[in-house]
Structure 1
Amino acid sequence: MAQAHDQNIARIRKYVADAREIQDDLMDFDASGTEARLEQTVRELRGRVQEQRAALEKLRRASKIDIEQVAYASDEPREKLKQILAVKEAYDQLTPTTTYLPPKGSILPALLAARTLQQNIQASKEAIASTQEQIAKQEHALRREEENLHDARLITKAMESRIARLRAQHEDRSQKTPAQLAKELIVAKRARKEEYEEEMKRLGEDLNVFINDHLSAMLAAEEFGGPVVGDMLDVENDTLAAGFTKKGKARSLKKPVADKTRQRRIDQIWGNKPSIENEEEEPLTEAEAADFEMRQLIENLFALLMARGGKEYFVLERDSAASRFLVRAKIAQFHPKDAKKLRLIDFGRELDD
């Protein structure tokens, strides 16, 4: 048994040695002789090409058949049969012919293998790029679906919470009498009304502060031919007293403007307005006159809105900076056919009825 085992080991080792020798013979590419073998291979291929050309030329001279006509099947049955027989005879002659193989030591197999390997590498790179692009698209689609799933879960959670609240309210109401429900509804309506009144009061105070501290001076500047409201944020009283040029720039204040001149100019624009309370009937300044006009216009528009439901227009005495500002701020709108008519925009309806 030991002797048989040793013989098997010896055969395996001999097989390995023979295989390595064969592999070394196949892969024996000497760098120093590569160029010479390449030239030899090129000469062999050129020789084969010359042989094929010579054979083709010999065939052309020996045959009177037009190759271009033979390349296409004839419509005539007999001629077509002759063509088929000729093709069969050619195949029969070529079948026993030995396939051309490059001689030992030729570098042609290595070149063919290198070309095939290069084609496979290029195809693999293109496949990798295409796969990466598809992966990027799939990842983008996956993120979008995850976002949609997250939104759907949030909506589902909110709907479930809403349904639970409605069920609880329904169960609570089912246990109460109509009188109790009516009383609770009245209390809730009154509480909401008080909240709305407090909110309106707060917003009204904020509006008054905004008009008094910022808007009134800019409205007065626009009335005197100055920049439109918003273009000059800080307008001083001295600037309003000096006035503006025809190009809308503030005049230089070299000397104080007389009170009579200022009052006459105020009366020409705003007319005679009542004096401010608790100031001993002192005349209004330009900013105070614009402030009074804006407040009066807003009060008139609100009064008309509450009385007529927002469908009627308020007739303006003149085209003022206050009315133009309300229109630019999307708070009011002019009549489509009459610019002297103005009304507040009902945000619960369309802009145009």
Structure 2
Amino acid sequence: MVQPDTDTIARIRKSTAETRDLQRGAMDLDASGTETRLEQTVRELQARVDEQQAALDQVRIYNQKLRRSSHVNIQQAAYASGNPRDKLKQLRAVKAAYTSLTPVAPFLPSKDSVLPALLATRTLQQNVRGTKQAIASTEAQITSSEALLKQEEANLHDANLIEEALRDRTVRLEAQIEDRSQKAPAQLAKELIAAKRAQKKRHDEETQRLGDALNEFVDDYLSAMLAAEELGGPVVGDMLNVENETLAAGFTKKGRAKAAKKPVSDNIRQRRIDQIWGSRAAVEEEEEPLTEAEAADAEMRELIGILFKTLTGPGGGRAYHQLERDSAASRFLVRAKIAQFHPKDAQKLRLIDFGRELDD
């Protein structure tokens, strides 16, 4: 029983080895004969072209002779005649032409020709090129579709939020209408007055809180930087920590802080302060003179107060304040997009009314 199994395994191994050798032989490329086969294919194609050219020349000569010897109109002969007899003659001529061409064997390359491989390669290259172009076009379409989908999803999310907010607002309004319909006018007036007073109180408290925060910011940080810009130093924001000694020493023409070799006298500092900020920088009944930072602080507070009065004044937020000079405070408010100059006059300034569009 052992011998038959051994013979079977041996035959299977032999068959496998022969199949592997055949596959390797089929995959091997005879590089030495490729050039010869290419040259042979080119010669065959050139011979075929010459044959076709000769045949075409003979057809041309025959057509010329036929035209000279025949009085038939080519344009009329190209279409079916209305006369049944002429139409029958045309059909017989066409049948004779097809019958004469049918026995002619089509041109086929020789067995060793590489023309089929070249044609297949060209077709594969065209298919690969077309597939790559289709892939690139499809990827672009997918990217565009994904971007559009994200935009539509965002729009849908916003629409849902708006719908929910409107629904809640509708419910609140309906509840308020129902509540007001059950109350007397005098009671409604009292509640409205109380609500307005509470709202005004909240606004006043919030205004006071924001005003205190602004004054603290100006006093602790902004005033020194404004003074440095006024004295020829860097603009606000370029030098964050500005000391009083630096302001007292001044700045060079290039905007750099001067080295303080000796303390600057108070008289020189006061004259410089009066020259830049004016005599109004001096505070009455104060024993010590103002520093540069304190003078800039006072100017900023005064400018903001004037601009607020102009904003809430009779101009309705469209009136401008006439500046006495181009100051670092006004330039900072414009850079911070808190105020804006007049389009035709840089000496006029007003605050930007952010709530005007909502009020309108």
Taking structure 1 as the reference length, the TM-score comes to: 0.68
> Is the 8 Å Cα contact of residues 275 and 281 (structure 1) preserved in structure 2?
no
Distance 1:198 1:42, change over 3 A: same
Distance 1:123 1:143, change over 3 A: farther
Deviation at 1:66, TM superposition (A): 6.4
Structure 2 distance, partners of 1:56, 1:123, is 35
Which residue of structure 2 lines up, in the alignment, with residue 295 of structure 1?
Answer: 301
Distance 1:184 1:133, change over 3 A: farther
> Is the 8 Å Cα contact of residues 232 and 253 (structure 2) preserved in structure 1?
yes
User: What is the DSSP-based 3-state SS (H/G/I as helix, E as strand, rest coil) of the residue aligned with 1:247?
Assistant: coil
| Counterpart pick for 2:214 among 191, 207, 226 | 207
Which residue of structure 2 lines up, in the alignment, with residue 189 of structure 1?
Answer: 196
Paired amino acid for 1:90: A
Which residue of structure 2 lines up, in the alignment, with residue 17 of structure 1?
Answer: none
Paired amino acid for 1:187: A
316-325 vs 75-84, which moves further: 75-84
Distance 1:149 1:226, change over 3 A: closer
Deviation at 1:287, TM superposition (A): 0.9
- What is the correspondence of 1:165-176 to structure 2 with a 5 Å cutoff? 165-176=172-183
Structure 2 distance, partners of 1:292, 1:50, is 101
Paired amino acid for 1:152: A
User: What is the DSSP-based 3-state SS (H/G/I as helix, E as strand, rest coil) of the residue aligned with 1:300?
Assistant: helix
Report percent identity of matched pairs: 52
Say yes or no: does 1:271 pair with 2:270: no
How many residue pairs are counted as aligned between the two chains?
A: 315
Taking structure 2 as the reference length, the TM-score comes to: 0.66
| Counterpart pick for 2:167 among 160, 170, 178 | 160
Structure 1 distance, partners of 2:230, 2:337, is 20
Structure 1 distance, partners of 2:324, 2:93, is 110
Deviation at 1:196, TM superposition (A): 0.8
Structure 1 distance, partners of 2:74, 2:104, is 35
> Is the 8 Å Cα contact of residues 216 and 290 (structure 1) preserved in structure 2?
yes
User: What is the DSSP-based 3-state SS (H/G/I as helix, E as strand, rest coil) of the residue aligned with 1:65?
Assistant: helix
Structure 2 distance, partners of 1:273, 1:44, is 106
Deviation at 1:300, TM superposition (A): 2.9
Structure 2 distance, partners of 1:194, 1:248, is 47
> Is the 8 Å Cα contact of residues 275 and 282 (structure 1) preserved in structure 2?
no
Deviation at 1:253, TM superposition (A): 0.5
Paired amino acid for 1:229: V
User: What is the DSSP-based 3-state SS (H/G/I as helix, E as strand, rest coil) of the residue aligned with 2:64?
Assistant: coil
Deviations along 1:146-177, whole A, 9 cap, x unmatched? 44444433333333333333323332332223
Which residue of structure 1 lines up, in the alignment, with residue 123 of structure 2?
Answer: 119
> Is the 8 Å Cα contact of residues 307 and 321 (structure 2) preserved in structure 1?
yes
115-124 vs 339-348, which moves further: 115-124
User: What is the DSSP-based 3-state SS (H/G/I as helix, E as strand, rest coil) of the residue aligned with 1:252?
Assistant: coil
Paired amino acid for 1:293: E
Structure 2 distance, partners of 1:224, 1:201, is 32
Deviation at 1:89, TM superposition (A): 4.0
Gapped runs of 5+ residues in structure 2?
Answer: 1-25
Deviations along 1:82-123, whole A, 9 cap, x unmatched? 99687654333223x1644869x9467x97599569737853
Distance 1:42 1:324, change over 3 A: closer
Which residue of structure 2 lines up, in the alignment, with residue 255 of structure 1?
Answer: 262
